[in-house]
Amino acid sequence: MVTLNDIAKMANVSKSTVSRYLNNGSVSQKTKEKLDKIVQETGYQPNAMAQSLKATKSSMVGVIIPRYDSPSTNQVLQGIDSVAYEKDIQLMITNANLDLERTKKNISLLQRQKVGAIILFATEIDDELANQIKSSKMPILLVGQKLENSPSFIYQDYEAGKIIAQHAIDKGHRKLLFVGVTESDYAVGVLRKKGFYDVAERNGASVEFIETGFSRSYSYEKALEFLPKTAATYIAAATDHIAIGISNASAELKISIPDELSLSGFGGYSVTQNVFPHITTVNYPFYKMGETVMKKVVQVLNQGTENIDDLTELQVDLNIQGSTNKI
């Protein structure tokens, strides 16, 4: 591997001259031409680690994702990437694999790499992690969860629940079923449900509740059981994947959507377009989330962590498709 020192020797100049040539450029025309030629021939590329070491920090930004195959995360990543690419910031993406311990390890890994900031897609935050975040000298931005005194970026989950309930009400439904998940997931399990209940009850509708898991296949099995029994005319699934499972089950049971039953999800994943009829859902602005967070990172990199809002909420909007209809 050819180094700056090698180049300097070949050109019979000092390291500093070569470095100056590569950076600012107070170099004479003659040496510039000489170096042009040598750098060209050798294909010299500066060692990024040596540069970062001298600068005592790297030009990278760390990202901790929960897992690779999450469509929402990937859309957020696209948004992050678009801004990062534009600003010439290199991302260092690490996978926590839905493991809290691995999340903590990844934070310290990124700290050792001296990244400029960390974007953390948090699913669960325990006390230890909260402490690690708070005591970090390196700015850590949270996506999808909020934490006191840390810049957090979340979706309007409570609002989303309200929007869907209002839609059901508007379509004339009064017997509703909310198919949700465990309350240990605050955004999905608590907020969406609460928003839904609040609007439904305010309008005098009855709401049943059934708990299922996040997987499509489990929800499908569950739906095969509860669909024949329920009196509801409108089912609000807490995620699009759950909705897909229910959609599959109703196809199997020859229950027609939307004629006999209306069905909606949350998320706005493209999977809702994969079934027919397409599923009404609440669109979450994943891509925009990425852009927003990354722009904030750029700001933090330039100005430090002062004057940064603690909480940024991104708006959601209703996406009406063929799966919901008037009663």
Partner DNA sequence: CCTCTTTTCGGAACCGGTTCCACTACATGA
Partner DNA sequence: TCATGTAGTGGAACCGGTTCCGAAAAGAGG
End-to-end CA distance of the chain: 72
Q: Which residues have a Cβ under 8 Å from the Cβ of 160 and sit 6 or more positions away?
A: 191, 192, 195, 266, 282, 284, 316
Q: Is 327 in the site for a second copy (CB under 8 A)?
A: no
Q: Is 177 in the site for DNA (CB under 7 A)?
A: no
**Shortest Å distance, C-beta 150 to DNA:** 25
Placement of tokens 């690779």 in the chain: 68
Q: Is 40 in the site for DNA (CB under 7 A)?
A: no
For a second copy, the binding residue among 19, 111, 145, 319 (CB under 8 A) is 111
Count of Cβ atoms closer than 10 Å to residue 177 Cβ: 24
CA dist 271 and 259 (Å) reads 21
Residues 55-94: x where in contact with DNA by CB under 7 A, - otherwise, as a string: xx--------------------------------------
Mark the segment that binds a second copy (CB under 8 A) among 14-22, 102-110, 142-150, 197-205: 102-110
Q: Which residues have a Cβ under 8 Å from the Cβ of 50 and sit 6 or more positions away?
A: none
Signed CA dihedral, 121, 87, 20, 22: sign only: positive
Q: Is 92 in the site for a second copy (CB under 8 A)?
A: yes
DSSP string, 18-66: HHHHHSS----HHHHHHHHHHHHHHT----HHHHHHHHTS-SEEEEEES
**Shortest Å distance, C-beta 108 to DNA:** 13
**Shortest Å distance, C-beta 255 to a second copy:** 12
Contacted by 16, from DNA, a second copy, none: CB < 5 to 8 Å by type:
DNA
For a second copy, the binding residue among 32, 37, 67, 87 (CB under 8 A) is 67
Placement of tokens 């005319």 in the chain: 233
- Note the residues at the interface with a second copy (CB under 8 A): 1, 45-50, 52-53, 56, 58, 67-69, 71, 74-75, 77-78, 81, 85, 90-95, 97, 102, 108-109, 111-114, 137, 216-217, 244, 247-248, 251-252, 270-271, 273-276
